[in-house]
Amino acid sequence: MTIDSIDTVTVLGAGSMGHGITEVVALAGYDVTMRDIEEDIVQDGYDDIEWSLNKLSEKSLIDQDPDDVLDRVSTMVDLESAVEGADMVIEAAPEQMDLKKDIFGDLDEMADEDALLASNTSSLSITEIASATDRPESVVGLHFFNPPVQMDLVEVIYGAETSDDTAEEAYEFIESIDKTPIYVRKDVQGFVVNTVLGPFGGEAAWMVSEGAATIKEADASMAQRGYPMGPFELGDMTGIDIGYHVRKEAGMPIPPIVQEKVDAEDLGQKTGKGYYDYEDGDGAEYEPTDATDDFDWLRIESVIVNRAAELIENDVATADAIDTGLRLGAGFPEGPCRRADKTGLDTIVEKLEELHEEYGDDHGEGRYEPSDYLVDLVEDGHTGRDSGKGFFEYDSDDGLGDYHTINYDLHDDGLLEIELDRPAQLNSLSPDLMGAIVDLLDSVDDEEVRAVTFEGAGDRAFCAGADITAFSNSDPAKDSEPTEVFSAVAEYPRPTLAKIDGYCLGGGLELALACDLRVATESSSFGFPEIDLGLLPGGGGTQRTIRNLSDARAKELVFRGEHISADRAQNWGLINRSASGEEYEETVDEFVDDLVTGPPIALRKAKRVMNKGADENLDAGLEMESQAFGLLLTTDDMMEGVAAFSADRDPEFEGE
């Protein structure tokens, strides 16, 4: 069975996960049957899908008619009828092992013999679930994250007997519904994301229980490290009892502060009170100023890294899969393995050894003992980025770096495509991402490049601005200088094009303005929200905007902080084209084709003369133009252009 053979999907469960998965699958073009045990439950799930699709459509986040998507969704109560003829069945029932085994026992009898059987469990053993069938090789875990419509990650989990064909088919299916899959190759408790995420809250709880920090200090300090929220705020949001039961089932000691909250039934937001008070207080109220320099963030991150290393050591997942999982599934600013390589694996091992000497197994057997994988890397001198190798390799034959916040592809025709790859953060600009762009443009051989395009990963944003959390430790003296990435893009000697689909805000708009050309989907939006933060665009936005627009329109864009549509952006002259549907791709292709087939020397000279001449008086600009024109008269490309014109054929420029 291959992905091409999956046409119809059945989702068992119409709750928050069930109807969310159904919506995602239907949006991808599949026919889906959603089944639950009562008609009212199924109808509620269907109504939730309808509401969600209409909201997505209103916000221009989908380009399909909600009614067309709903036409692909059918509902049933009878299990046998629901799974009859289904190529794939995804179970999304409550997290009770007996219930899931009952369902899979029924599926073994009712589902087609070639059907792929998947469980959306977030914590239960795939191996045990599959034991309820006589075809465990066809059972796989598909752990969607909540809410499925918004969360990009799906863990693809092997049971003990899951076949490679089954797992690969499931992986390809997840890609086909526009989600990002990672393999979990062994059926370990917590899978990948929850295993590695556990110490984020657990270690902080031990530190506060020991009096080494307050809750606010811990939350503020970790938020300052770039995490989307502190460990205690996260615990309140997900439910303190959830983490408590996970630790208890795993036989791990419970930090006293966690036990105290569970005993008092103060379980977080759902009970009105947890680590913070949401009824009579202001909730998770902490500020960056609550962070302290002596907070031991390295203790938390070292244990996180150790969990990741153990997964790699035991062939559960790769470092790349772990980093992808934690970025997309937990909102980490960067993967723990990448961050560890920057910190230094020797520093991580040293910290773990200190903790092991101090605590032994008090907080869980083997908790602080450095994994053999980590120790071996350090002993081999592979301590991270500075040594050229750690979890990842950083030296490459072509001189280009190993980037994790951008993707790039240099095609044979000379097109260099650069994709901002932080979709969960709307491709916001972090120091790592901006540094990667600068390094790539500095390292790539200009002679092999004809043109460069920039675009954002995912379907929501080109780039929604700067990642504020990543700049929490900024140096005002340093950050008052023009940001290097915008200069690198603006001054790159080849034509650059911003392919904009979705939000293009703040630093994202500054990046687009640093490009020579801009083409956008008509659903895109543009703006400088910095003024609402008491700031101004600091990456050239004020200057490039006022050079592209009239004074009044440039100041309106900066002063008011409002979003404008793509059509208005085109009318104002902020972008070159606004296009819809297939017209967008066709327009981009036309622009790119002209750039990569055009005369390289002439394009480079034209870009330089226009950029530099704009800063000079007219006479100086005309002189620069004249000199460039005279030089181009001596090139082989000019002769080729004349010959092609005379012969009524397309020129073939070689850049000579």
Known catalytic residues?
Answer: 510, 530
* Max CA distance (Å), the chain: 88
Q: Are strands 116-119 and 88-91 parallel, antiparallel or unpaired?
A: parallel
To which residue do tokens 């469990």 refer? 121
Which among 79, 315, 59, 325 is positioned nearest to 195, based on CA atoms?
325
Q: Could you give the CA distance from residue 75 to residue 44 in angstroms, rounded to a whole number? A: 11
Question: Burial code of 136-172, b = ≥16 C-beta within 10 A, e = fewer?
Answer: bebbbbbbbbeebbebbbbbbbbbebbbeebbebbbe
Do the beta carbons of residue 360 and residue 306 sit within 8 Å? Answer: no
Q: Are strands 8-12 and 31-35 parallel, antiparallel or unpaired?
A: parallel
Distances, alpha carbon 569 to alpha carbons 432, 457, 513, 529, 611, in Å: 29, 22, 12, 16, 21
Q: Count the helix, strand and coil residues of the chain and give each as a percent rounded to the nearest 5.
A: 50, 15, 35
Q: Could you give the CA distance from residue 81 to residue 68 in angstroms, rounded to a whole number? A: 23
Q: Could you give the CA distance from residue 627 to residue 620 in angstroms, rounded to a whole number? A: 11
Which among 321, 322, 378 is positioned nearest to 351, based on CA atoms?
378
Q: Could you give the CA distance from residue 627 to residue 235 in angstroms, rounded to a whole number? A: 66
- Helices 345-359 and 372-379 cross at an angle (nearest 10°) of 130
User: Alpha carbon 306 to chain centroid distance?
Assistant: 23
Q: Are strands 415-420 and 406-410 parallel, antiparallel or unpaired?
A: antiparallel
Q: What tokens appear for 475 in the block?
A: 């140096």
Do the beta carbons of residue 224 and residue 277 sit within 8 Å? Answer: no
**Cβ atoms < 10 Å from Cβ of 88:** 27
Which among 53, 95, 91, 86 is positioned nearest to 70, based on CA atoms?
53
Do the beta carbons of residue 408 and residue 419 sit within 8 Å? Answer: yes
Q: Are strands 451-456 and 496-500 parallel, antiparallel or unpaired?
A: parallel
For residue 482, whether the previous peptide bond is cis, meaning omega lies within 30 degrees of 0, is no
